[in-house]
Structure 1
Amino acid sequence: MEEEFEFGFTEDPKFSVERYEEMIRNHDQYFFDAQAFENIIDYYIEKNDPPKALQVAEYARNQHPFAAVFLIKQAQLLVVGNKVPEAFAALEKAAMLEASDADIYIIRGNLYESMERFSEALENYEKALELAEETDEILLHIAYVYQNMGDYDTAVSYLKLCLKQNMENQDALYELAFCYDVMDNQQESVQFYQQYIDNEPYSYAAWYNLGNAYTKLSLFEKAIDAYDYAILIKDSFASAYFNKGNALVNLEKYAEAIEVYRHTFEYEQPNADTYCAIGECYEKLEQMDDARAFYKKSVKMDPKLADAWFGIGVTLDFEERYFEALHFYKKALDLDIANADYWFAIADAEYKLGHMTEAEQAYEKVVELNPLDIDAWLDYSSILYEQQRLVGAIEIISQAIKNNPEAAELYYRMVAYLFAKGEFNEALNQLEMALTSDPEKHYILFDYLPQLQSNKVIVDIINRYTK
């Protein structure tokens, strides 16, 4: 006959685990009290061994058939193993034994949430709220459900409730920032984090999110102050250094930004994005060798980072190495085919290499992807103008004006092309429109056709608008 031993919860959890493993090895039957079983299950969960934990839960259920806790543990582990029907069944049995255990409804809510059955998820979370002692995590889950339903206002109110209960809940702080971002309501975001900081001045996450809100409002000086406080409270906060670097870039303080980006390397492994950002700063400072070195580090770390390949191209372009630049622009384009900036750079490099057909095709792509890019329309039309294709140039500028009716420079360019084609009356009409739009930019006309400076009719019309 098998010998039965009983092990209680007074012993060290490690001792319970050793005893349990001994029992399995010996194909024996020891008795453990409920707490000891819980300790053993938790040990295997911490060891990231769900199958073993599940096996223990099964043993525990046999020895303690009326303890709902083991059915709940079993359900949690079945969820991890993606065994949804079995998890629901275990919860059903647990509810029959102890309907007042909040965990039953939390896990069931999680399951419904993952299945996008949102009303059932909310029903279970609401039930859990009534039963649980600590509710901040449940409130956070309810907020997630409302986010998934696209109801960000309600999500925000639950996140605020969550933070009211637990000011330390970092997830809620970040989720709140996300919701305000989606709602494009940075003003309210700033107000919330300022109030929060009045109560919790040492919350680095709140300072960080305040910095992000200021960044989105283009208040970069204020953003930098907020990031500095976040860094002061937690000096190893790499994300705060990185975002502070981005804010400095927006203020065109590139040398300072480089220093701040480099700080992130003290607290986390260098990554491709940071290398790329440093490369961009050196590029803006026109230190092209340094820029290229960092862009190369970036692509070595992440060959799929299109911006870094593009950056290498920009540094070569700057050195008038257009043929080499094209190679890297095209590598960037392969990774991000709909990027208008990449097409623009390719168009420009092809033009500088004298490849007019390729340049024209690339410009066509730029204006298709970004019809609001006035420079692209101007460059595209001027390629045709240089080839004496005046009808084509005028056509392109007409399309450009349709897409950008406010852009005075397009009208001035149209005037130049019409004069070149000999359509003087239409040219004068367009000149009146250009001058009505922005009289200060009339120099564009003379840049393009200097001989018009001696044309009395034109000079008189311009004087009417500029004096």
Structure 2
Amino acid sequence: MEEDFEFGFTEDPKFSVERYEEMIRNHDQYFFDAQAFENIIDYYIEKNDPAKALQVVEYACNQHPFAAVFLIKQAQLLVVTNRVSEAFASLEKAALLEASDADIYIIRGNLYENMERYAEALENYEKALDLAEETDEILLHISYVYQNMGDYDTAITYLKLCLQQNMENQDALYELAFCYDVMDNQEESVQFYMQYIDSEPYSYAAWYNLGNAYTKLSLFEKAIDAYDYAILIKDSFASAYFNKGNALVNLEKYAEAIEVYRQTFEYEQPNADTYCAIGECYEKLEQMDDARAFYKKAVKMDSKLADGWFGIGVTLDFEERYFEALHFYKKALDLDIANADYWFAIADAEYKLGHLAEAEQAYEKVVELNPIDVDAWLDYSSILYEQSRLVDAVEVMAQAIKNNPDAAELYYRMVAYLFAAGDYKEALNHLEMALAADPEKHYILFDYLPQLQKNKVILDIINRYAK
């Protein structure tokens, strides 16, 4: 007859694991108390070996059939290995043994949440709230469920409750920022983080989120101050440096932005987005060699980064190397076919190369993708006007005005085309509309058709509005 050995919780956890592995090797039967089994299970969980952990749970359940803790561990491991129905069965058994264990309802809530059965998820989380000693993580999960249901107001309520329970719950701080973002309610976001900082002045995450809220409100100076506090508290906080760099770019402080972007490399591996951002700063400073060097680093690191390829094109375009620029614009476009800015750059480069048909097709695409781009409409119609296709130019302007009824420059351009086409009555109608929209911009008409400066009828109408 085999002899049973007993190992208790006084043993070193490592020793328990060694004895367990010895038992398996020897095909033997040792007895372990509940704590020793928990230590062995946790050891395999930490080693990311759920299969072995489940094997230990089987032994534990056999030796301690009335200990709910092992059925709960079993359910957690079955969830990890995607055996959902078995996980539910283990939780049912655990509930029969110890219905007051909050973990049963937390795991069950998780399962229902993943299955998008939100009412049942909430019901289980609410039960867990009544039973658990620490509830911040449960409140966080309830907020996730409400977010998934599209109820961001209620999600925010639970996130605030979560932070009342545990002011240091970073996930809740970030989720709160996300909810305010979705609701486009940055003012309330700022208000919350300011109040939060009053009681938790050393929360780098709160300062960081405050900076992000200010950025979305275009209050870039305030955003930079908030990022600076985040960095002061946690000087290795790479995201705060990156977002501070973005805020400096918005203030057109490109040289300062480059320095801040470079600081991220001290705390995390360089990444393509940061290289691309630095490239853009050099581009704005018209240091095209440096800009191109950083854009190249970006696409070398991430060949799918469309903005990196586009940036290389922009630097070549600046140097009037339009044919080469087109090659890179098209690489960017292959990665992001619906990007109106890319189409616009292609249209412009094709035009400069004298490829009018290709330019026209590209402009057509720009205004289709972004019909409120007034400059694109003007350039598109210009190509047609240059080819003496006046009817087409007038038609394009009519479409432009339909999409941008408040853009005075479109009316003035239409006046020029109508005069050129000899349709004086319609031209004067549009001149009245242009002057009603913005009398100051009447110079646009003369820029396009200087000879009209001598036309008394036009000058009389302009003078009437100018007064």
> What TM-score does the superposition give when structure 1 sets the normalisation length?
0.99
Shift in Å, 1:269: 0.2
Distance in 1, matches of 2:65 and 2:429, equals: 92
Query: How far apart are the structure 1 equivalents of 2:457 and 2:123?
Result: 78
Q: How far 1:401 moved relative to its partner?
A: 0.2
449-458 or 413-422: which moved more? 449-458
Q: 1:25: how far off? A: 0.8
Output one character per residue of 1:197-228: Cα deviation in whole Å (capped at 9) or x when no partner.
Answer: 00000000000000000000000000000000
Distance 2:449 2:257 in 1: 43
Cα distance in 1 for residues equivalent to 2:3 and 2:391: 101
**Equivalent runs, 1:270-285 vs 2, <5 Å:** 270-285=270-285
Deviation at 1:3, TM superposition (A): 2.0
User: How far is the alpha carbon of 1:437 from its aligned partner?
Assistant: 0.4
The Cα shift of 1:453 comes to 1.2
Tell me the percent identity.
90
Q: Distance in 2 between matches of 1:45 and 1:195?
A: 40
**Offset, 1:261:** 0.3
Q: CA deviation at 1:139?
A: 0.4
Q: Give a deviation string over 1:245-301, Cα, whole Å, max 9, x none.
A: 000000000000000000000000000000000000000000000000000000011
In the other structure, the counterpart of 1:165 is 165
Distance in 1, Cα, partners of 2:283 & 2:443:
31
Per the alignment, residue 405 of structure 1 pairs with 405
Measured after TM superposition, the shift of residue 179 of structure 1 is: 0.3
- 3-state DSSP of counterpart to 1:440: helix
1:20-78 Cα distance to aligned partner (Å, 9 max, x none): 11111111111100000000000110111110111101110011000000000000000
Query: 3-state SS of the aligned residue for 1:247?
Result: helix
In structure 2, C-alpha distance between the alignment counterparts of 1:67 and 1:446, rounded to whole Å = 90
What is the CA deviation profile of residues 345-404 of structure 1, one whole-angstrom value per residue up to 9, with x for unaligned ones? 000001011111110000000000000000000000000000000000000000000000
Cα distance, 1:159 vs structure 2: 0.3
Rounded to whole Å, the distance in 1 between the matches of 2:323 and 2:22 is 71
TM-score by length of 2: 0.99
Residue 460 of structure 1: how far off its partner (Å): 1.9
Distance 2:430 2:64 in 1: 90
Q: Distance in 2 between matches of 1:168 and 1:418?
A: 67
Aligned to 1:103: 103
Separation (CA, whole Å) in 2 of partners of 1:45 and 1:447: 75
Deviation at 1:2, TM superposition (A): 1.6
**How big is the shift at 1:303?**
0.5
Instruction: Tell me the CA shift for residue 447 of structure 1.
Output: 0.7
Alpha-carbon distance between aligned partners in 2 of 1:235 and 1:151, rounded to the nearest angstrom: 36
Structure 2 distance, partners of 1:383, 1:351, is: 8
Deviations 1:97-139 (A, max 9, x none): 1101000000000000000000000000000001000000000
1:236 match: secondary structure: coil
Distance 1:289 1:246 in 2: 21
- The CA deviation string for residues 332-357 of structure 1, in whole angstroms up to 9 with x for no partner, is 01111100000000000010111111
Q: Which whole-Å CA distance do the structure 2 matches of 1:176 and 1:61 have between them?
A: 41
Q: Which runs of 4+ in 1 moved over 4 A?
A: none
In 2, the alpha carbon distance for the partners of 1:198 and 1:98 equals 42
Cα offset, 1:432, TM superposition: 1.0
- Give the distance between the partners of 1:143 and 1:287, measured in 2 at CA: 48
Alignment of 1:291-306 (within 5 A): 291-306=291-306
- Please report how far the alpha carbon of residue 190 of structure 1 lies from its aligned counterpart in structure 2 after TM superposition: 0.3
Q: In the aligned structure 1, how far is the partner of 2:425 from the partner of 2:113?
A: 68
Moved more, 442-451 or 228-237: 442-451
The CA deviation string for residues 426-467 of structure 1, in whole angstroms up to 9 with x for no partner, is 111111110110011111111111111122221222122223
Cα distance in structure 1, aligned partners of 2:454 and 2:11: 103
Aligned mates of 2:145, 2:69 — CA distance in 1: 26
Q: Report the CA distance between 1:422 and its aligned residue.
A: 1.1
* CA distance in 2: counterparts of 1:329 and 1:172, whole angstroms: 41
Unmatched segments (≥5 aa) in structure 1: none
Match of 2:393 in 1: 393
In 1, the alpha carbon distance for the partners of 2:2 and 2:181 equals 64
